[in-house]
């Protein structure tokens, strides 16, 4: 079964916010992404609302027909929003307010009690949980211990090394993915995946359930158009 593509629409909101008003419209673009073949919509609201606004999340709740994934740092406001919206998936990311973008995975050992408590609350409300981790096998083991349904592998290290030595770049991800499956964790991936490195990643990571891609996909859409770009990304994920 092909890996599912979830489109992160944060950059659509960034473009809208740069000018004010409602152009481009985040809800309409998300509906179009689904119409063009995307199997999920991802948002990552931050406290300063510099891209996705909390109202966007509420609006998207009413229209997303595929999987709705809300990423974020699990502070009180995030948890309140997610429990209100009840998306298909909540992805917990260790990026406190002020960081430009997600740049690390959870230390699941250090944060065991916090993650366990959050995950239990989310799952009690019927929300699938995924936690953002690196390829440190101890952190993968910790993700299983705290009860997560899935992990999302932080793929920036892979992307940054891909062109120099793709075999070396993928190696730690293969090991982490293998362990995840042995621990009955489902597997997502995201961050800096693009049309150059996605196919190799998907071909070499057994059991990859979903990738979440935003920045690269929206950037490519400036050249190729959104519908064509989504089809190009889906083609990279074909078995």
Helix H or strand E segment including 138: helix 137-145
Q: DSSP label at 90?
A: E
Catalytic pick among 34, 51, 67, 71: 71
Q: Which among 67, 152, 191, 210 is annotated as catalytic? A: 191
Q: Is 167 a catalytic residue?
A: no
Select from 88, 5, 78, 36 the least CA-distant residue to 228: 36
Three-state helix/strand/coil letters over 208-221: CCEEEECHHHHHHH
- Say whether 191 is catalytic: yes
Q: DSSP class of residue 178?
A: H
| Burial state string for 148-185 with b = 16 or more CB within 10 A and e = fewer than 16 | bbbbbbbbbbbbebbeeebeebbebbeebbbbbeeeeb
Nearest-angstrom CA–CA distance, 60 and 34: 12
163 among known catalytic residues: no
From the list 44, 51, 152, 210, the catalytic residue is 44
User: Which residues are identified as catalytic?
Assistant: 44, 71, 191
């Amino acid at each position: 079964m092909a890996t599912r593509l979830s489109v992160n629409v944060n950059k659509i909101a960034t473009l809208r916010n740069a000018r004010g008003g409602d152009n481009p419209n985040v809800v309409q673009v998300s509906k179009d992404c689904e119409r063009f073949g995307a199997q999920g919509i991802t948002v990552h609201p931050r406290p300063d609302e510099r891209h996705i606004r909390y109202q966007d999340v509420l609006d998207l709740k009413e229209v997303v027909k595929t999987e709705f994934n809300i990423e974020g740092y699990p502070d009180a406001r995030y948890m309140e929003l997610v429990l209100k919206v009840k998306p298909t998936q909540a992805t917990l990311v260790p990026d406190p307010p002020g960081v430009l973008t997600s740049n690390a995975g959870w230390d699941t050992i250090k944060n065991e009690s916090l993650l366990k408590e959050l995950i239990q609350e989310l799952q009690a409300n019927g929300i699938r949980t995924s936690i953002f981790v690196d390829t440190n096998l101890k952190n993968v083991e910790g993700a299983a211990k705290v009860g997560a349904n899935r992990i999302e592998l932080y793929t920036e290290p892979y992307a940054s090394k891909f062109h120099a030595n793709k075999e070396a770049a993928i190696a730690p991800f293969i090991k982490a993915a293998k362990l995840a499956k042995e621990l009955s964790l489902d597997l997502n991936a995201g961050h800096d995946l693009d049309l150059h490195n996605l196919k190799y990643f998907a071909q070499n990571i057994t059991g990859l359930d979903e990738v979440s891609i935003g920045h690269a996909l929206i950037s490519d859409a400036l050249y190729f158009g959104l519908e064509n770009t989504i089809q190009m990304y889906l083609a990279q994920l074909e078995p």
